[in-house]
Amino acid sequence: MNIADALKKIRSDMGITQQEAAKRVGISRSYFADLESGRYYPSGRILIKMNDEFDIFILLTDDGKTIHYKEVN
């Protein structure tokens, strides 16, 4: 699964808006939207924050564009 699709699914499953997700991660809503659209890829710092805030484990593959994630709760 690519990062953009995973972020959309995670956010949808949590029932939160882009604004709420962005606030929890500490980024702007527009940047979060860019991540969900695939325009940009999150930095390692952002991925770690998402892991913590969304109670998930995100693992980037070697290509840096594909992820695996699972809920840890």
Count of the separate structural domains present in the chain: 1
Q: Which one-letter amino acid corresponds to residue 23?
A: K
Q: Annotate 6-39 with b (16+ C-beta within 10 A) or e (fewer).
A: bbeebbeebeeebeebbebbebeeebbbbbbeee
pLDDT digits (tens), the chain, 73 positions: 788 888 998 899 999 999 999 999 999 999 999 999 999 988 889 988 998 888 887 776 766 666 666 666 5
Eight-state DSSP code of residue 65: S
Domain residues for 59? 3-71
* Domain of residue 11, CATH code: 1.10.260.40
Q: How many Å apart are CA 67 and CA 57, to the nearest integer?
A: 10
This prediction's pTM: 0.81
